[in-house]
């Protein structure tokens, strides 16, 4: 079973945390932490609502290292999100950035040099309103891949494939691409 850390408990982070179905730690901030501790994630999909309990914390545990991490914050919150992952600076794991824009993967790679960083783009309409995470419209899908020119690395490719397989098992169809930059520029 893969271990996940998800930094950011807005609409996408909460959606992925509730869907992951694996060993997940969701790292929200402020009053959202207390709401998630007491109530869990309120998720609405296709008109059906459900509560999903997801472990939450305000910090990342450096002893229990994740296999995968997801940065699910807004771009302007990236620096603070990466600071929360600082205890993992020397760990090897796959890190998915789901911010709009093209700079997040490079910034994350600089902050966490041993991580295998993948840029990602989440498709679907997500919003958090009145504490409820709503997913409406097109099915949720994710596209992910590296964002730098580099030699093929079988270990990195296996880690990315494992991440994609885990997300697929959590009903988040995931496509891996060899270069995520065109899709990130398109979304910017």
Output the domain CATH number for residue 84: 3.40.50.720
Given this model, what pLDDT does residue 21 score? 64
116 to 15, 54, 99: CA distances (angstroms): 23, 25, 16
Say yes or no to pLDDT of 42 above 90.
yes
Contact 124, 131 (CB under 8 A): no
Cα–Cα distance between 148 and 62 in angstroms, integer? Answer: 27
The fraction of the chain above a pLDDT of 90, given in percent, is 52
Cα–Cα distance between 167 and 153 in angstroms, integer? Answer: 21
Contact 28, 143 (CB under 8 A): no
Domain that holds residue 94: 3-187
CA atoms within 13 A on the CB side of 141: 9
Contact 127, 159 (CB under 8 A): no
- For the chain, the domain total comes to 1
- Least confidently predicted of 17-21, 35-39, 148-152: 148-152
Say yes or no to pLDDT of 188 above 60.
no
SS3 (DSSP) at 40:
coil
Confidence of residue 94 (pLDDT cuts 50, 70, 90): very high
Say yes or no to pLDDT of 148 above 80.
no
Confidence (pTM): 0.91
């Amino acid at each position: 079973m893969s271990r996940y850390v998800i930094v950011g408990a807005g609409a996408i982070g909460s959606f992925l945390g509730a869907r992951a179905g694996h060993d997940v730690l969701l790292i929200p901030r402020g009053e959202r932490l207390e709401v998630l501790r007491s109530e869990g994630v309120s998720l609405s999909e296709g008109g059906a609502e459900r509560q999903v309990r997801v472990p939450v914390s305000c910090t990342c545990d450096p002893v229990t290292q994740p296999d995968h991490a997801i940065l699910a914050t807004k771009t302007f919150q990236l620096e603070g999100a990466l600071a929360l992952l600082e205890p993992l600076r020397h760990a090897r794991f796959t890190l998915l950035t789901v911010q709009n824009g093209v700079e997040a993967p490079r910034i994350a790679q600089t902050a966490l040099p041993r991580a295998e960083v993948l840029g990602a783009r989440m498709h679907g309409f997500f919003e958090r309103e009145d504490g409820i995470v709503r997913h409406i419209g097109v099915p949720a899908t994710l596209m992910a891949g590296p964002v730098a020119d580099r030699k093929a690395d079988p270990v990195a490719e296996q880690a990315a494939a494992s991440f994609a397989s885990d997300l697929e098992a959590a009903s988040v169809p995931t496509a891996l691409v060899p270069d995520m930059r065109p899709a990130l520029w398109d979304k910017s």
